[in-house]
Amino acid sequence: MKINPRLKKDLKSFLLENIQKEQNRVLVMSADILGFDERQVLGKKFSDLNWSQADYQVDRSIIAGIIIKVGSKTIDLSLMGSLSKLSNTLYEID
C-alpha cells in the first residue's frame, strides 16, 4: 500500500511540531502552589524558557523549593534535591 506523500509530509511535520512543543514545555514542581509574584520572578530568572505553556504541579515530597523540567532536562532547586546532593557529596568523601 502506497502512502500519499503529502499526507506523509503533513504527519511528519505534525509529529515534529508536537515533539518540539513537548521539548519546550515547562513543568514546575513545588511543595505549595506558587503565587503570582513567584511565577513572575521565575519568568525573569529563566527568561530563555517558554512560560506561556508552563505547567505547575504540587509535590509535598520535595519539602520546599522548586523543580523545573523542560523536556528531558531538569533543574532541581528543592530542599530534597539539596539533601540528595549533600548525600552524594558525603558518599564521595572518604
Partner 1 sequence: MENLGIDGKLLLAQMINFILFFFLVKKFVVKPFTAFLNQERTNEEEKNKLLEKLKKSEEASVEAEKKAKEKMKKEFDVLFIQAKKEAQSIRADLIKQAEIDALEIKDKNKKLLEEEKNLLYREVKDKIIKTSLMIVESALKESLDEVSRKKVTGAIIKNYEGKVNFNEN
| 29 within 8 A of 66, measured Cβ to Cβ | yes
Sign of CA dihedral 49, 55, 61, 66: positive
35 interacts with partner 1 by CB under 8 A: yes
CA–CA separation, 11 and 5 (whole Å):
10
27 interacts with partner 1 by CB under 8 A: no
Identity of the residue, 42 or 54, whose beta carbon is nearer to partner 1 in the bound complex: 42
- Which one-letter amino acid corresponds to residue 29? M
Identity of the residue, 4 or 48, whose beta carbon is nearer to partner 1 in the bound complex: 48
Binding site for partner 1 (CB under 8 A): 30-32, 34-35, 37-38, 41-42, 45-46, 48-49, 63-66, 68, 70, 72-77, 79-80, 83, 86-87, 90-91
